[in-house]
Amino acid sequence: MENKPVLYTSLSPSLLNLYDVSNSIVVIIDVLRATSTIATALYNGARSVIPVDSVLRCIEIGRQIQGVTAGERDGRIAEGLEYGNSPFEYPREFVDGKTLVLTTTNGTRLLHMALDKGAKEIITGSFPNLSAVCDHLIEKKQNVILGCAAWKDRVNIEDTLFAGAVISRVRDHFLINCDSSHIAEAMYEKGKKDLFAFLKKSDASHYHRLMNFGLEKDIRYCLTADGANVLPIYKEGKLLVK
Amino acid sequence: MENKPVLYTSLSPSLLNLYDVSNSIVVIIDVLRATSTIATALYNGARSVIPVDSVLRCIEIGRQIQGVTAGERDGRIAEGLEYGNSPFEYPREFVDGKTLVLTTTNGTRLLHMALDKGAKEIITGSFPNLSAVCDHLIEKKQNVILGCAAWKDRVNIEDTLFAGAVISRVRDHFLINCDSSHIAEAMYEKGKKDLFAFLKKSDASHYHRLMNFGLEKDIRYCLTADGANVLPIYKEGKLLVK
């Protein structure tokens, strides 16, 4: 048997410690909306995105480096920050050449967990940069953990679907002995024809949360492949385009 | 809107603390094979099943009450115990009138977690007693947590499928704002026509583990509804038929 690298899916930050983080590339997945927004800002020319784990730290660093402070708590712009967590807030006209300092409920928290556990490499994944993520994983030939940011540690459908989308494209290059991965792939196969309709039909919690804020456009964008096809890699405190 | 009780699914013991255990009926789910075996032993006349969390304690209690010591570690009979974790070891001719002292890798551990967190009621669920579980939950009109025992905290497909089977039958009686539950139901809908074939096709880890031990018959039995349709309830250290 060929000596392929292994791939695991962690469906919630609470499960991350079950996997060998220090020997893996960790893909941070926060589809609605942190990692979609990160890909979009970088695609549109942002110099970098600095993920921070608290609003206070976001304000502090934003001041130091004259960056754009952005982030949400419970799906809304956090008090004290200038911008929110919608990819549509970061068109090229606005974000080109700027540095974003971003804090979100789940995604940035998971990224710091992976960092603390000594991940070999940290990248961020979302449908807008699906192909870039898959190409990178296939090329690197390293062990992979698909890390779903979930919602306050509760498993969510949209991050699971993205993990499934990645698996469906990279499965031949990895050894996958992981039921969470098989569940993710089965969910993706079930929903892939129309992910928006599938989220709605599945009664996904975060779908409802964002629809209640009038954010259907955000959801649709965040479920569409390759609209911002860059690969954000974490280096020395910043997410940069590879 | 009607004031329905809520239902959540905890896909791994590591996630149980996210839910309000002390205000809920917790259904312990360990399809392959602990909870299937518990239902079967009680259905076949066992006086009770005493779930214990270690092999030593199993031997100790077995001696004290002259019970049958049973259990597995990593899918095989644990050293020092008399019997294993297969439902076929407990036909009526053998188990009628006896008390089983049982320890398993995942199921009994989760049961003790739910107990420590003050669950309102603890019952065990498996396909062999699917209808008894669903009827009970509908009748009680209380909040429910479907607790998957998983495999060493890693989410597994078979427990997820059973949670989905319960949800597909009780969904109209509960408020279900829980993506894990929606994922479980979607998986069950995808697999329900032939659960054995689905486990195989999904490349489920525990399917392979048991097939390697020659236990196809066990798997098929554990995926079949209502073969031992009793309701095991935990009371003062013992699982008893309601």
Tell me: the pLDDT tens digits for A59-76? 999 999 999 999 988 777
pLDDT at B199: 94
Q: B69's torsion region: left (phi>0), alpha (psi -120 to 50) or beta?
A: beta
pLDDT along chain B (242 residues), means of 10: 89 97 98 96 98 93 96 82 94 97 90 96 98 98 98 96 98 97 97 96 86 91 98 97 90
Taking 80 as the threshold, does the pLDDT of residue A239 lie above it? yes
Specify if B68 maps to a domain.
Answer: yes
Taking 90 as the threshold, does the pLDDT of residue A48 lie above it? yes
Residues of chain B contacting A, Cβ within 8 Å: 11-12, 14-15, 18, 151-157, 160, 176-180, 182-183, 186-187, 190, 202-206
Specify if B49 maps to a domain.
Answer: yes
Assembly ipTM? 0.94
Taking 70 as the threshold, does the pLDDT of residue A2 lie above it? no
Which of the four pLDDT bands, split at 50, 70 and 90, describes residue A1? low
**How much is the mean pLDDT over chain A?**
95
Mutate to test the interface with A, among B14, B155, B176 (most CBs of A within 10 A): B155
Residues B33 and B221: their CA atoms lie apart, in Å, by 10
Q: Do B157 and A183 touch (CB under 8 A)?
A: yes
Specify if A2 maps to a domain.
Answer: no
Q: Write out pLDDT tens, residues A184-193.
A: 999 999 999 9
Residue among A155, A179, A186 minimizing CB distance to B180: A155
Taking 60 as the threshold, does the pLDDT of residue A208 lie above it? yes
Full domain range(s) for residue A56:
7-241
pLDDT at B135: 98
Mutate to test the interface with B, among A6, A9, A157, A183 (most CBs of B within 10 A): A183
Specify if B2 maps to a domain.
Answer: no
pLDDT at B2: 65
With beta carbons under 8 A apart, name residues in chain B contacting A177. 203, 205
Specify if B45 maps to a domain.
Answer: yes
Specify if B1 maps to a domain.
Answer: no
Specify if A200 maps to a domain.
Answer: yes
DSSP string, chain A: ---PPBEEEESSGGGGGGS-GGGSEEEEE-TTTHHHHHHHHHHTT-SEEEE-SSHHHHHHHHHHHTPEEEEEETTEEPTT-SB-S-GGG--HHHHTT-EEEEE-SSHHHHHHHHHHTT-SEEEEE-GGGHHHHHHHHHHH---EEEEE-TBTTB--HHHHHHHHHHHHHHGGGSB---HHHHHHHHHHHHHGGGHHHHHHHTT-HHHHHHHHTT-HHHHHHHTSTTTT---EEEETTEEEE-
Sheet with A238-241, strands from edge to edge, namely A7-10, A144-148, A25-29, A121-125, A232-235, A238-241, A48-51, A99-103, A68-73, A76-77
Residue among A160, A182, A202 minimizing CB distance to B157: A182
With beta carbons under 8 A apart, name residues in chain A contacting B154. 15, 18, 178-180
Q: Do A151 and B203 touch (CB under 8 A)?
A: no
Specify if A1 maps to a domain.
Answer: no
Number of domains in chain A: 1
- The residue among A207 and A166 whose pLDDT is bigger is A166
Q: Write out pLDDT tens, residues B184-223.
A: 999 999 999 999 999 999 888 888 888 888 889 999 999 9
Mean pLDDT for A12-16 is 98
pLDDT at A28: 98
Type of residue at B133: V
Q: Write out pLDDT tens, residues A81-118.
A: 999 999 999 999 999 999 999 998 889 889 999 999 99
| Inter-chain Cβ pairs, chain A and chain B, closer than 8 A | 86
User: What are the strands, taking DSSP E only, across chain B?
Assistant: 7-10, 25-29, 48-51, 68-73, 76-77, 99-103, 121-125, 144-148, 232-235, 238-241
Pairing type for strands B68-73 and B76-77 reads antiparallel
* Best CA proximity match to A204, nearest among A165, A156, A147: A156
Q: What is the CATH number of the domain that holds B58?
A: 3.90.1560.10
Residue among B14, B18, B156 minimizing CB distance to A179: B156
